[in-house]
A and B are shown apart, each in its own frame.
Chain A
Amino acid sequence: MAQCPCGSGLDFDGCCGPILGGAPAPSPEALMRSRFTAFVRGDLDHIESTHAAEVRDTFNRSAAESTASSVEWVDLEICETSDGGEGDDIGTVEFRARFKKDGELMVHHEKSNFRREEGLWAYVDGKMNPKGKPRRVEKVGRNAPCPCGSGKKYKKCCGA
């Protein structure tokens, strides 16, 4: 039994295998994993058949195939998912796919949008190198309790 290229730790036949064989993906993450595995295996049919309707008109299969075959896929990391549950019709998956091109290790970092079309999850589009949530900078009031937990006013403690 071979391990699934998507890095789930499961056997291929118990992971992406059935989805590549035509079984419906139960979630956007499962579809995302199967699409990574398809790129690893050069299975462009699966990539194409899991596109949302509007992507089919703009997808350049030969270019995708050329890219997929010119790199050596290393691994896949799912960073974050949102929605994509049983009652949802949309979902997102943020992932990092690492690959080697000309011996150099590179990362494809994308936040992908998925949509349910006629019951089946489909890839819509993605934002490359998505930015994380902006860090909120909050001011500490001079008379507010000090964030260090001393119980003193900020101005009498760390803010002094």
Chain B
Amino acid sequence: MDRRFSCTACGKCCYGLVPLTIDDALAHADKYPLVVIWTPVRQGGRSFRITADLGITIEIKKHKRAAVQIAPTAYIPPTLPCPELSEDGLCRIHDAKPQRCRTMPFSAYRDENDQEDLTLPRPGWECDTSDAAPVVYGDKSILDRNDFEIERKQLVRDAAILKPYAEWLLDSVPSLRPELQKIAMKPSGGRVVVGFSTLIPRLPKVDIYAFARKQLPVMKTFAERTVGDPGLVDFHQRYVDGRTEWEKVARPNSGTRAGSV
């Protein structure tokens, strides 16, 4: 079935979590509170194969595996807008916005033949899907594949970094694997949120001090914005933790310096 779609710039999809390519995460480190989100996808799920290709798989019980998506993410609560969404509902960084936003309504995290539901507006969204809108998806293919291709290429390139990172962190933090296994067994699913600092040692070109100076004010701002909101306790705690963590890196002298012998 042909699907029609046209963006009306309603700004409704500019809320909540945004999975980012590594380059986009680094480019916007002064704007978004960054984390790495690990999401198990069970064997048999539609996205199992592509998630396993772009991420890793873990054993959840004998002969049963789960794929795990490893996504650098702008950790914005679903009730809060992107900090770059202006009052008039437009994007302040349109020319430099993340690839995830450009590929909308499609997603390179899923197979091309599994995009049909994405062309349907979520409740409250004002996307134009009337006969006036152009056909964007038909015969399980995206008509203008440009942005989808760019995003997919970046995700494949990121996978070369994220796969060894994930295996290394699973070895380093013994509690992580059982946590993912538990979530993978739950019908309701879930995700594990990990600090972005775990990924920095795997990104040779990133100066951790400069990065900390970008993330620190962002974590502070989001911690202030979410304080006292009972629905955002988990988000708030993550921002507080992030603030503490980046403070230590940004001001190394406040901690114990390596002693000389």
Contacts and interface: CB of A to CB of B under 8 A. Distances in A.
B188 interface: no
Nearest to A59: B204
Given A41-B258, A62-B209, A70 B201 contact: no
B248 A70 contact: yes
Interface centre among A12, A58, A68, A100, by most chain B C-beta atoms within 10 angstroms, is A58
A112 B55 CA distance: 25
Contacts of A71: 256
Interface string A50-81: 00000001111111101111111100000000
B261 interface: yes
Interface in B172-226: 172, 174, 200-209
B62 interface: no
B260 A41 contact: yes
Contact of B204 (A12, A39, A42, A57): A57
Contacts of B203: 60
A62 B207 CA distance: 6
Contacts of B204: 57-61
Bin the interface of chain A by size: 20 to 34
A66 B261 contact: no
A70 B255 contact: yes
Interface of B: 168, 171-172, 174, 200-209, 248-249, 252, 255-261
13 contacts: A5-B261, A40-B259, A41-B260, A42-B260, A60-B206, A61-B204, A62-B206, A62-B207, A66-B208, A69-B258, A70-B249, A72-B259, A129-B172
Given A42-B260, A61-B204, A72-B256, 12 more contacts: A4-B261, A57-B204, A60-B204, A63-B206, A68-B258, A69-B255, A69-B257, A70-B248, A70-B252, A73-B258, A100-B256, A129-B174
8 A-B pairs with least C-beta separation: A128-B171, A42-B258, A63-B201, A62-B208, A128-B172, A63-B208, A62-B207, A60-B204
